[in-house]
């Protein structure tokens, strides 16, 4: 596995957590999600994000609604459900434990 493939796989693995984080404060439009993920250097193309959003909604982790837009067609907005909030909390705890473990290993490897 080359470095680029490993990085891509790690980013994909974190994408659910990142999307849930972005939806935690209320309704978010898809282009806002894409902009935030690009800004965080988590390069995501729409072809990756839309299926993920659909899956998270189908799994009951995100809710959505269509809202009329003055700039064009209706827009689909997403937000966390109660189940999504629970998963976000679980993922946050897991992430912090993993981060602490990796940091510990890195410190040990420097000895």
pLDDT per position as a tens digit, 41-72? 887 677 889 999 999 999 999 999 999 988 88
State the distance between the two ends of the chain, measured CA to CA, in whole angstroms. Answer: 28
Instruction: Specify whether the CB–CB gap between 40 and 19 falls below 8 A.
Output: no
Domains of the chain: residue spans and CATH = 3-109 (1.10.10.10)
**Mean pLDDT calculated for residue range 28-49:** 87
Give the C-alpha separation, 32 to 67, whole Å: 15
Name the band, by pLDDT with cuts 50, 70 and 90, for residue 82: very high
Cβ pair 77, 29 in contact under 8 A: yes
Residue-level pLDDT at 78: 98
């Amino acid at each position: 596995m080359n470095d680029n493939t490993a990085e891509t796989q790690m980013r994909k693995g974190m994408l659910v957590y990142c999307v849930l984080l972005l939806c935690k404060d209320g309704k978010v439009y898809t282009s806002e999600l894409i902009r935030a993920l690009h800004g965080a250097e988590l390069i995501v193309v729409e072809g990756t994000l839309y299926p993920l959003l659909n899956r998270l909604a189908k799994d009951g982790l995100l809710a959505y609604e269509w809202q009329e837009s003055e700039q064009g067609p209706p827009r689909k907005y997403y937000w966390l459900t109660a189940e999504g909030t629970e998963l976000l909390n679980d993922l946050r705890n897991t992430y912090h434990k993993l981060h602490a473990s990796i940091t510990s290993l890195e410190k040990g490897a420097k000895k």
